[in-house]
DNA sequence: AGTGCATAGTGAAATTTTTAACAATCACCG
DNA sequence: CGGTGATTGTTAAAAATTTCACTATGCACT
């Protein structure tokens, strides 16, 4: 019997669950109904035990001898992660990257609804992008409180990231996703995540160098 | 005495080294000459021992009783990661995100030089972005071999990511950074990294949900 | 030169995370 | 309606990673 656990859930587990959801969505589109931990593991590039363990933190979602029902499992994971509802999001910094995010429907499809965008550049304020008017960032704190926004996305230059974060914190935001390559400080009650693709470039460069040293090329 | 180690280096270490470099660059701009592992750790949000351990994989870069010389340490880490040279990069998929990447000088500043961009859309082929002409993706394998390209960046829609990867692999690329939310398969000699910001959105949403359950709000 | 002080480097301990192994259980079949 | 095969959930072992505690060493000051 499975009792609700209050173990701390590894951050790596959360990250993998997101991958599982991704792959489950592909399967669902392909009309696949059932999947075993072994097959899913192979697709996601992990160990099958890992998948069963990750899922065990949240409940029992499979059928022994059969596997997991794709649709059901996707739903279960989404619910476990708190993704079975919409989240109001604001974006700070309407530059190249900010625009790319605003124009894509990827966020909305996953339940993250960008309800406002802010910039400090007077030339950008008033512009309309993807049906959203760019506002002056000084109005941010007020707006987020009014609109019940919980997550802020920072796409300003790195040296402005902390300032953007301060606005968001003042606005009562609970989580920040920072695309600028700069650490920011925030109170404990605010969750901060860093999206830093340069790290991944570094990683690849390092891996290639290593392989070269080891003579694999 | 420090002898060159052939231990496997944790992936997490690489990721942290990238953060250290980031912060060291900020310090250097501020004119700071010396930093202790304790202070750097605080800035990067990690444990001081962790920093010393991470660096120990590559050598001895500090001065006991003093700390690390900022400029020197930055150089040492960059060299350790294989970043003390330029890397030729190609980009596949000139959409919103691809353009944002092409327009930013962030990559070049770090030694990653985008030498060509490819798309399969006839309307985009021939267009010039940031001084680079968009080429037809069918020419990719040939071009990459000619230009001695080692890294490929994928910014196509997810369902096209594997195809893009295949072109890159055919072109003799050694590493791939994939921005599309889709796993890709590649031979062992190709390093693949995934940049998936949706995972970070999930993470933040999950953290907020957890805190709410625990009654922290 | 010697002393004190600060901080890097390092081996061992603690903790966390992953993997392996297996008992439990479900669907299916005769 | 019990046996069979498959695959989960779970416990135990292994591996990896992080943190601690301590030693070594360089610098500044006397
Ligand atoms: N361009 C990319 O492909 C890319 C990819 C990954 C990460 N990043 C990072 O994302 C960030 C943005 O990149 P970009 O290419 O969009 O840069 P950008 O210069 O095009 O855009 C930055 C925007 O932020 C605005 N801004 C500056 N300070 C602000 C403040 N205090 N409040 C509100 N808005 C403010 C600017 O007016 C500008 O519109 C950078 O930190 C960059 O390093 C960029
Ligand atoms: N837009 C964002 O802010 C953002 C952020 C993170 C990740 N992503 C991901 O990055 C990818 C690209 O996003 P986008 O917003 O730029 O999408 P987009 O639709 O604007 O651009 C995709 C481009 O890829 C091209 N393409 C398609 N198939 C191709 C192929 N086989 N070879 C070469 N080019 C091909 C298309 O012609 C198009 O120009 C998507 O997978 C998206 O999920 C986007």
pLDDT at residue A109 tops 90: yes
- In this structure, the answer to whether residues A52 and A101 fall within a common structural domain is no
Nucleotide with C1' nearest the A1 CA = D9
Local confidence band at A1 (pLDDT 50, 70, 90 cut-offs): very low
Q: Is A60 within a domain? A: yes
Residue B195 has pLDDT above 60, yes or no: yes
Is A177:B200 a contact under the CB 8 Å cutoff? yes
Structure tokens at A141: 């704190």
Residue nearest to nucleotide D24 (CA to C1'): B64
Phi, psi of A176 (to 5 degrees): -130, 135
Q: How far apart are the first and last CA of chain A?
A: 52
* Candidates B18, B181, B198; nearest CB to A199: B18
- Domain residues for B132? 87-199
Q: What is the CATH number of the domain that holds B53?
A: 1.10.10.10
Contacts of A45 in chain B (CB under 8 A): 183
pLDDT at A217: 66
Please tell me whether residues B93 and B195 are part of one structural domain.
yes
- Asked if residue A95 is part of any domain, the answer here is yes
Asked whether residue B183 falls in the same domain as residue B91, the answer is: yes
* pLDDT at position B213: 81
Q: How far apart are alpha carbons A121 and A216 in whole angstroms?
A: 50
The pLDDT tens digits for A16-60 are 999 999 999 999 999 999 999 999 999 999 999 999 999 999 999
Query: Does B12 reach chain A within 8 Å, measured CB to CB?
Result: no
Q: What is the pLDDT of residues B46-99, one digit of tens each?
A: 999 999 999 999 999 999 999 999 999 999 999 999 999 999 999 999 999 999
Domain end marker among A43, A61, A81 = A81
Supply the mean pLDDT for chain B. 94
Counted residue by residue, chain B has a size of 217
Pairing type for strands B132-136 and B128-129 reads: antiparallel
pLDDT recorded at residue B2 = 54
The predicted model gives B200-212 an average pLDDT of 93
Residue A149: closest CA among A92, A193, A187, A110: A92
CATH code at position B138 = 3.40.50.720
Q: At residue B120, does pLDDT exceed 90?
A: yes
The reply to whether B100 and B139 lie within a common domain is yes
Mean pLDDT estimate for chain A: 94
One domain for residues A192 and A172 = yes
Arithmetic mean of pLDDT, B143-154: 96
Tell me what the mean pLDDT of segment B6-12 comes to. Answer: 86
In a domain, B216, yes or no: no
A209 is a domain residue = no
Tell me if A133 is assigned to some domain.
Answer: yes
pLDDT in tens, B176-194: 999 999 999 999 999 999 9
Asked if A175 is an interface residue toward chain B (Cβ–Cβ < 8 A), one would say yes
pTM summary value: 0.95
For A158-213, the pLDDT digits (tens) are 999 999 999 999 999 999 999 999 999 999 999 999 999 999 999 999 999 998 88
pLDDT tens, residue by residue, A63-82 = 999 999 999 999 999 999 99
- pLDDT higher than threshold 70 for residue B124: yes
Helices (H), B32-160: 37-44, 48-56, 70-81, 96-103, 106-109, 140-147
Query: pLDDT of B13-40, one tens digit each?
Result: 999 999 999 999 999 999 999 999 999 9
Name the CA dihedral angle for A102, A103, A108, A114, rounded to a multiple of 10 degrees.
20
If one residue of B90, B93, B102 were mutated to test the ligand 2 pocket, choosing by the most ligand atoms within 8 A of its CB, it would be B93
* B 163-202: CB within 7 Å of strand D: none
The pLDDT of residue A150? 97
Q: Domain check: are B52 and B119 in the same one?
A: no
Q: What are the tens digits of pLDDT across the range B97-117?
A: 999 999 999 999 999 999 999
Q: Are residues B76 and B100 in the same domain?
A: no
Q: Is the pLDDT of residue A140 over 70?
A: yes
Q: Are residues A19 and A62 in the same domain?
A: yes
pLDDT for residue B217 is more than 70: no
Domains in chain B, number: 2
Within this chain, do residues A177 and A108 fall inside the same structural domain, yes or no? yes
Flag whether A149 is in a domain.
yes
Judged against a pLDDT cut of 70, whether residue A134 lies above it is answered with yes
Same domain, B101 and B188: yes
Position B214 scores a pLDDT of 74
Among the candidates B81, B106, B132, a domain finishes at B81
Give pLDDT, residue B5: 58
Write out which nucleotides of chain D lie closer than 7 A to a protein Cβ. 5-11, 16-21, 24-27
Contacts of A205 in chain B (CB under 8 A): 81-83, 87, 112, 151, 175
Residue A141 sits in the same domain as residue A191: yes
Contact B207 A191 (CB under 8 A): yes
Burial (0-12, 13-18, 19+ Cβ within 10 Å), B139: middle
- Same domain, residue pair B68 and B94: no
Among candidates A97, A155, A152, which has minimal Cα distance to B155? A97
């Amino acid at each position: 019997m499975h009792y609700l656990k209050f173990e701390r859930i590894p951050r790596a587990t959360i990250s993998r669950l997101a991958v599982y959801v991704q792959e489950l969505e592909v399967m669902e589109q392909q009309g696949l109904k059932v999947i075993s931990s072994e097959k899913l593991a192979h697709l996601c590039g992990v160990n099958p035990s890992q998948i069963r363990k990750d899922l065990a933190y949240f409940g029992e979602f499979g059928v022994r001898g059969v596997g997991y029902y794709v649709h059901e499992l996707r739903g279960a994971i989404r619910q476990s992660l708190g993704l079975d509802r919409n989240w109001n999001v604001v974006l700070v910094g309407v530059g190249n990257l900010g625009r790319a995010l605003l124009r894509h429907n990827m966020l909305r499809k996953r339940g993250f609804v960008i309800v406002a965008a802010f910039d400090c550049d007077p030339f950008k304020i008033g512009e309309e992008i993807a049906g959203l008017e760019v506002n002056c960032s000084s109005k941010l704190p007020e707006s987020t409180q009014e609109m019940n926004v919980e997550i802020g996305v920072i796409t300003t230059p790195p040296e402005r990231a902390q300032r953007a974060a301060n606005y968001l914190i003042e606005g009562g935001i609970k989580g920040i996703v920072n695309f600028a390559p700069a650490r920011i400080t925030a109170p404990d009650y605010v969750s901060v995540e860093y999206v830093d693709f340069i790290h991944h470039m570094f990683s690849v460069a390092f891996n290639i160098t290593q392989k070269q040293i080891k003579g694999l090329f």
